[in-house]
Amino acid sequence: MSDERLHRLAEAAGLSIDWVDADGQDQRVRPEVLRAVLNGLGLAADSDSEIDNSLEKLDAIAGTSNLPPLVTLDQGTALELELYFEPSTPYELTLEDGTRHPGALDEHARLGAIDTPGYHRLEIAGQHLTLAVAPSACPDVEDIAGPGAWGLTVQLYGLRRPGDGGLGDTLALETLARNAAAHGADALGISPIHAMFTGNSGQYSPYSPSSRLFYNILHSAPEAILGDTPMRLAIESCGLAEELQRLERLELVDWDAVSTTRQRLLRALFDDFVNGGNAQRADFDSFREAGGEALENHCRFEALHAALLDHQGHPQHWRDWPDQYRTPQSPAVERFAQEHAEQVSYHAFCQWLIARGLERAQTAAHSAGMKIGLISDLAVGADGGGSQAWSRQDEVLAALSVGAPPDIINRQGQSWGISAFSPWGLKAHGYRAFIEMVRANLAHAGGMRIDHVMGLMRLWVIPAGAGPTEGAYLNYPFDDLLRLLSIEAWRRNAVILGEDLGTVPEGLRDKLAERGLLGMRVLFFERDQHGRFTPPMRWPHTALATSTTHDLPTIHGWWQGHDIDWRIRVGQNQEHERAAQLEERERERAGLLRLLREYAPDIQGDLTDPEVLADACGAFLARTPAPLVLFPIEDALCLLEQPNMPGTTDTHPNWRRRYPADSAALLDAPACARRLKILADVRKQTLGSDHR
């Protein structure tokens, strides 16, 4: 079997045979890896005859004479249709507002430019399709928030409030939004709140969700929607007062116990709600109707996931369910939903509570003076055994997981154990799954951060059971996805941010900038190999600026070398490497001090004191030309520990750390308040005026 034939199939399937790694070195995917990835795409490639059959399969997909159900184009640009229709073919265009425009293609078989962004319907030669017309760019941060905008980022689960029962919720988020706005913040970025598995409390990483269409019900604050009395009665009837207080006192989230107690309370509240003639029933019914098939499928999945346990009583991957339950459209699933209607309704009730709570939090942020408000976080994929993969099987890659090749941060590469969209599946279904996902994550937010934004262009896909180095890049319809993002952001007047860290393909950042998607620059990464940090005027105006991320050490932790200690403790590095790593860190520390002494000269005190260092880092970031500065609350509070350590599970308390004070006054401690005032004042002096 020749490599040439194999490469031809790989290229036709959208795989990159050659690529450039994070060190700028040329790499080529080995033939055995290509065959494994192609098999994972459903394209057999173990012999010449299999390759021929797979090529025919791809030709059949690409060679259709019909247009796809949705075509994207830019506002004010003609649409080339000569591959499908003759010149002068008549058509009728119906704009989103219902106005009709009959016409005919021009002499080059082009459809004339459309000036109105949105989703329009085109009827031509017996075919019906959607035209997704994109504005030139996403809304601009400065247009929404004015010059010099800044905000904070927070891990939602870590927030505290009296009565929270051991986990951050939407009521704590409301109070933090008001607190942050009082200090001048324009935005509040939150950790992902995607739906998890209510039947599996051990899976709680917000970046490995069951579905990116719905929400984690454990973050709801039912009393904010239903009132204090039903909540108090539910706590009494369940006998949970002492347990809730115990959980509230813990320094780390006990996800198992929190999941158990919250679901007992939610069930009691639901039983009271459906039996008590609640006045909010009409709102719940309206919410459920608006959720349509997607919400119904998610709720059915949750009910099935709880019912179809294995022989040991544990939840199963839906591919291990009896055959009749493996597709949401099957008659067996319909019968199950009817027989377990109350359980399905319970999950819809839980989604209603969390959605209304998030709506309240965004309203609180705007009412308190934030120009942007909440910024949601969109994970790069979802668990292949979850609700979204079950509901949208034709649009998800089932046999491949997503990760990253070795890069500067993770030299072993990463396998995230999550599934991603199928490029062919998205196109074939008019990008339905992508559009509904973006809408869900912008529904109660003024912006959205896209984790691993490179996934819009390409994703590193890995066959089941293979290591992270045994993958290949799969290319995606980047321009189509950017146009769809632009439409949805324009409709919501929302800002879009992209986490572009790691192995970034050539041209991606330019494309993002053209579309108004802000990239991301992190203080610790903005330096050369000699430890020289980038001065503020050389930071790009096309990216947000931040000090760190949830996967990296805090300012305090970095300065103390605490992350070096952790990596040795969890076995990622060896004890004998400590001295060399500390020596390298000392060079980096010296470089940061030189930078801050020059570009944060007004900061009083000893810069080697982490509290003073955090002040200076905030002031430095404020001096960059970034349209938006997002300062992590971990650095605003000068905390030592980071939220997550990639590559670990039980050896580091990932996604469990709680903040040290009530969210209503979390930012009011003198050191934190001083730090935020410095950031706000320098930002105002450097880039803006008081636009409040």
Specify the domain boundaries for CATH 2.60.40 within the chain: 76-134
Q: Tokens 């942020």: give the residue.
A: 365
Residue 637 token pair: 């509070």
HSE-CB for 204 with a 13 A CA cutoff? 24
- Per the CB < 8 A criterion, the answer to whether 142 and 628 are in contact is no
Residue 609 token pair: 């004191």
Residue whose C-alpha is closest to residue 425's, from 175, 34, 123, 68: 68
Query: What integer pLDDT is reported at residue 680 of this predicted model?
Result: 97
Burial 454-465, CB ≥16 within 10 A → b, else e: bbbbbbbbbbee
Query: What integer pLDDT is reported at residue 64 of this predicted model?
Result: 57
Query: What integer pLDDT is reported at residue 65 of this predicted model?
Result: 59
Query: What integer pLDDT is reported at residue 399 of this predicted model?
Result: 86
pLDDT tens per residue, range 467-488: 899 999 999 999 999 999 999 9
Q: How far is CA 59 from the centre of its chain?
A: 34
Q: How far is CA 440 from the centre of its chain?
A: 11
Q: Tokens 């704009």: give the residue.
A: 95
Distance CA 445, CA 493 (A): 10
Query: What integer pLDDT is reported at residue 406 of this predicted model?
Result: 82
Query: What integer pLDDT is reported at residue 692 of this predicted model?
Result: 36
- Per the CB < 8 A criterion, the answer to whether 383 and 161 are in contact is no
Cα–Cα distances in Å, from 221 out to 172, 174, 196, 231, 563? Answer: 9, 11, 17, 9, 34
Supply φ then ψ for residue 73, to 5 degrees. -155, 165
Residue 513 token pair: 């900038």
Residue whose C-alpha is closest to residue 171's, from 107, 231, 89, 113: 231
Residues in the chain: 692
SS3 for 395-437, per residue?
HECCCEEEEECCCCCCCCCEEEEEECECHHHHHHCCCHHHHHH
Residue 456 token pair: 């819009």
Query: What integer pLDDT is reported at residue 409 of this predicted model?
Result: 67
Residue 326 token pair: 């493996």
Residue 92 token pair: 């009728």
Could you give the percent of the chain with pLDDT greater than 70? Answer: 98
Number of Cβ within a 10 Å radius of residue 56 = 11
Q: Tokens 């927030």: give the residue.
A: 159
Q: Which residues pair with 475 in a beta bridge?
A: 458
Q: Which residues pair with 458 in a beta bridge?
A: 475
Distance CA 640, CA 617 (A): 15
- Per the CB < 8 A criterion, the answer to whether 531 and 587 are in contact is yes
Query: What integer pLDDT is reported at residue 569 of this predicted model?
Result: 96
What is the residue-wise DSSP string for 249-297? H-SB--HHHHHHHHHHHHHHHHHHHHHTT-TTHHHHHHHHHHHHHHHHH
pLDDT tens per residue, range 638-667: 999 999 998 888 899 999 999 999 999 999
pLDDT tens per residue, range 591-605: 999 999 999 999 999
Residue 143 token pair: 């247009």
What is the residue-wise DSSP string for 575-627? GGGHHHHHHHHHHHHHHHHHHHHHHSTT--S-TTSHHHHHHHHHHHHHHS--S
Continuous segment of H or E residues that includes residue 359: helix 341-367
Question: Fold for domain 76-134?
Answer: Immunoglobulin-like (2.60.40)
3-state helix, strand, coil in the chain (%, to 5): 45, 15, 40
Query: What integer pLDDT is reported at residue 215 of this predicted model?
Result: 98
Supply φ then ψ for residue 614, to 5 degrees. -65, -40
Number of Cβ within a 10 Å radius of residue 309 = 12
- Per the CB < 8 A criterion, the answer to whether 183 and 683 are in contact is no
**Between vectors from CA 639 to CA 634 and to CA 645, what angle results, nearest 5°?**
70
The ranges of the chain with pLDDT < 70 are 1, 62-65, 408-409, 688-692
User: Which residues, 6 or more positions from 584, have their beta carbon under 8 angstroms from its beta carbon?
Assistant: none
